[in-house]
C-alpha cells in the first residue's frame, strides 16, 4: 500500500510542481513587453493627454456658459420664450432648445478637436470629417428633442420645492437616466450604427455555449458596424429590462482572435448577470445628488451677486447656464469618484468573464489591444483618478493569476498576438 501511495504521489508530482512553478509576475511582464518602445510611448501620450482634456473640457464649458450669461443671451432666450408662449413649461422647452443649439455651436471647435482631429492624429478615426459632422448633427438634433423634456421636469421640481429641489431633481435625473438606458438600444443607437445578427459559425456557437452555461438568453447576439467610424475594439451591454442586449463591434471580430472574442464576451455577460447597469445607475444617482446639493447652495448666491445676467432666480429658466457651469466644475472635482464607480463594476465583470469564458490568455491579449489607446501601466493614484476601467496591467495580472489558480499544469508560454496589433494604431506606428 505504501509503494502504491508513493507511486501515486510521484505520478502527480510533475503536474503539481509545474503549476506551482507558474510565475504570475513573470507571465504578466512577458505580455506587457509586447507593447514597448515608441509604441508604448505613443499609447501613453494619447491617454495621458486625455487627463488634460478632462480639465480643458470643463473649462471650455465654463467659458461657454459664462459667455452666454455675461452677454445677456440667457435672459434674451427666456424673453423670446415668454413672447412665444405664456405657458411656463413651454417657455422652458423653448429656452432649453435654443440653449442646446447655441452652446453646441460655441463648443463645436473644441468638439472637432477632441472627437475628430485628435482621434485622427492618433490613427483611430475611419470616417471623413463630413461623415463625422453628419453624426454630430444627428446628436444635436437628438439633444434638441430630449434636453427640453429634462429641463421641463427639472424646472417643475425647482418651482414646487425651491429649497429641496436638489433631492427631487436627483430622482428626476435618475429616472431619465434609466429611461435613456431603456430606449437607447431601440431608438438611439441605430441612428448612428447598423446592428445585425452575428453570423452563424463556430465562434458564435462558443459564445452561445458560454451564455447558456450562465443562464443568459442567447437568441440574439448583435454586431455593430463601428468600423465605419473608429478602429477601436469594443463590446457592451446596453438597454434595460426587455431591451437589454449584448453587442460586439465588427472591429472586435476582425482585429482579434476567437479566444479574445470569447473572453471579451464573457466580460460583457458579467455585466448582464451581475446587473451592473442597476449598480451604475445607483452609483451615479449618488454622484448626481451630491452635485445638485452643492449647486442648490451655490447657484442662488451667484445669481444674486450678478444682476447684470438678467436671471431672476433659480426657478427662472435663464438660470440654466449657471446650473450647467456649476455642474461642469462639480463633474471635474468628482472625476475620481465617477471613475472609481465605473472601474469597480468593470473589475467585477473581468472576474466573472474569466470564470465564464476560461480564456485567461485571450483576455490578456484583449487587454493589450485595448492598450493601443489606454496607458498600460499607470501609477496607483493615477489609476484611481483617471481610469474608468482597470488598467491593462491590472487586467493581464488578474488573467495570469486566474490561469495559475484554475489551469492544471499552467505553463509559461511565449505570449503572441495573432493577429498582431493594428499597424495604423497609435501604439504600433513608428
H-type helices in 122-201, by residue range? Answer: 129-160, 165-183
Query: Do 196 and 222 contact (CB within 8 A), yes or no?
Result: yes
- Higher per-residue pLDDT: 422 or 360: 360
- Higher per-residue pLDDT: 415 or 170: 170
Query: Do 353 and 263 contact (CB within 8 A), yes or no?
Result: yes
C-alpha cell at 355: 470564470
Instruction: Report the SS3 class of residue 412.
Output: coil
C-alpha of 330 from chain center: 19
Report pLDDT digits (tens) over 124-146: 999 999 999 999 999 999 999 99
φ, ψ dihedrals at 197, nearest 5°: -70, 140
Instruction: Report the SS3 class of residue 182.
Output: helix
Query: Do 197 and 225 contact (CB within 8 A), yes or no?
Result: no
pLDDT, the chain, mean:
91
Query: Who's near 235: CB < 8 A, 6+ residues apart?
Result: 246, 247, 248, 249, 252, 264, 265, 267, 268
Element (H, E) at 253: helix 250-255
Query: Do 404 and 24 contact (CB within 8 A), yes or no?
Result: yes
Which residue, among 182, 102, 191, 201, has the nearest Cα to 147 in the 3D structure?
102
Query: Do 366 and 418 contact (CB within 8 A), yes or no?
Result: no
Distances (CA, A) of 238 to 26, 273, 277, 332: 37, 13, 8, 26
Report pLDDT digits (tens) over 229-256: 999 999 988 888 888 888 999 999 999 9
Average pLDDT over residues 308-334: 97
Would you say residue 298 has pLDDT above 60? yes
Would you say residue 11 has pLDDT above 60? no
Q: What pLDDT score was predicted for residue 56? A: 98
Task: Map grid coordinates 493615477 to a residue.
Answer: 382
Would you say residue 149 has pLDDT above 50? yes
pLDDT grade for 307, boundaries at 50, 70 and 90: very high
Q: What pLDDT score was predicted for residue 411? A: 83
- Bridge partners (DSSP) of residue 195 are 224
**The length of the chain, given as a count of residues:** 430
pLDDT grade for 424, boundaries at 50, 70 and 90: low
Distances (CA, A) of 340 to 97, 100, 336: 33, 30, 6
Query: Who's near 62: CB < 8 A, 6+ residues apart?
Result: 325, 328, 329
Report pLDDT digits (tens) over 252-269: 999 999 999 999 999 999
Report pLDDT digits (tens) over 366-421: 999 999 899 999 999 999 999 999 999 999 999 999 999 999 888 877 787 777 77
For the entire predicted model, the pTM comes to: 0.89
Report the 10 Å Cβ neighbour count for 98. 19
Report pLDDT digits (tens) over 50-105: 999 999 999 999 999 999 999 999 999 999 999 999 999 999 999 999 999 999 99
Q: What pLDDT score was predicted for residue 420? A: 76
DSSP at 395? H
Q: What b-and-e string marks burial along 224-263, b requiring 16 or more CB atoms within 10 Å of the CB?
A: bebbebbbbbebbbbbbeeebbbbbbbbbbebbbebbbbb
Report pLDDT digits (tens) over 20-47: 579 999 999 999 999 988 889 999 999 9
φ, ψ dihedrals at 248, nearest 5°: -120, 150
Amino acid at each position: 500500500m505504501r509503494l502504491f501511495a508513493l507511486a501515486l504521489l510521484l505520478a502527480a508530482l510533475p503536474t503539481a510542481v509545474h503549476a506551482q512553478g507558474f510565475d504570475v509576475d513573470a507571465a504578466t511582464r512577458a505580455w506587457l513587453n509586447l507593447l514597448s518602445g515608441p509604441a508604448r510611448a505613443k499609447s501613453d501620450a494619447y491617454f495621458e493627454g486625455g487627463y488634460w482634456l478632462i480639465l480643458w473640457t470643463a473649462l471650455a464649458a465654463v467659458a461657454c456658459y459664462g459667455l452666454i450669461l455675461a452677454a445677456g443671451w440667457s435672459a434674451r432666450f427666456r424673453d423670446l420664450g415668454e413672447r412665444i408662449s405664456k405657458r411656463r413649461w413651454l417657455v422652458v422647452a423653448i429656452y432649453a432648445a435654443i440653449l442646446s443649439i447655441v452652446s453646441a455651436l460655441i463648443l463645436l471647435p473644441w468638439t472637432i478637436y477632441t472627437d475628430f482631429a485628435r482621434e485622427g492624429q492618433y490613427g483611430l478615426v475611419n470616417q471623413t470629417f463630413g461623415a463625422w459632422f453628419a453624426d454630430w448633427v444627428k446628436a444635436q438634433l437628438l439633444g434638441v428633442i430630449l434636453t427640453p423634456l429634462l429641463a421641463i421636469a427639472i424646472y417643475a421640481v425647482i418651482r414646487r420645492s425651491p429649497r429641496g429641489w436638489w433631492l427631487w431633481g436627483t430622482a428626476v435625473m435618475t429616472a431619465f437616466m434609466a429611461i435613456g438606458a431603456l430606449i437607447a438600444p431601440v431608438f438611439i443607437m441605430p441612428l448612428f450604427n447598423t446592428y445585425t445578427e452575428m453570423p452563424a459559425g463556430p465562434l458564435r456557437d462558443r459564445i452561445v455555449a458560454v451564455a447558456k452555461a450562465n443562464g443568459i438568453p442567447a437568441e440574439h447576439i448583435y454586431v455593430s458596424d463601428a468600423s465605419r467610424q473608429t478602429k477601436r475594439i469594443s463590446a457592451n451591454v446596453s438597454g434595460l429590462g426587455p431591451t437589454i442586449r449584448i453587442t460586439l463591434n465588427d472591429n472586435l471580430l476582425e482585429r482579434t482572435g476567437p479566444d479574445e472574442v470569447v473572453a471579451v464576451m464573457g466580460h460583457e455577460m458579467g455585466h448582464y448577470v451581475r446587473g451592473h447597469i442597476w449598480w451604475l445607475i445607483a452609483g451615479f444617482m449618488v454622484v448626481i445628488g451630491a452635485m445638485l446639493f452643492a449647486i442648490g447652495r451655490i447657484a442662488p448666491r451667484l445669481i444674486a451677486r450678478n444682476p447684470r445676467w438678467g436671471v431672476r432666480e433659480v426657478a427662472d429658466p435663464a438660470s440654466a447656464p449657471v446650473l450647467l457651469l456649476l455642474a461642469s466644475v462639480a463633474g471635474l472635482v468628482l472625476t475620481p469618484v465617477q471613475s472609481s464607480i465605473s472601474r469597480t463594476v468593470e473589475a467585477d465583470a473581468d472576474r466573472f468573464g474569466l470564470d465564464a469564458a476560461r480564456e485567461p490568455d485571450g483576455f490578456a491579449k484583449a487587454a493589450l489591444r485595448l492598450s493601443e489607446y489606454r496607458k498600460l501601466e499607470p501609477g496607483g493614484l493615477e489609476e484611481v483618478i483617471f481610469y474608468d476601467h482597470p488598467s491593462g496591467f491590472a487586467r493581464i495580472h488578474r488573467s495570469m493569476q486566474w490561469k495559475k489558480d484554475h489551469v492544471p499544469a499552467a505553463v509559461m508560454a511565449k505570449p503572441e498576438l495573432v493577429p498582431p496589433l493594428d499597424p495604423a494604431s497609435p501604439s504600433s506606428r513608428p
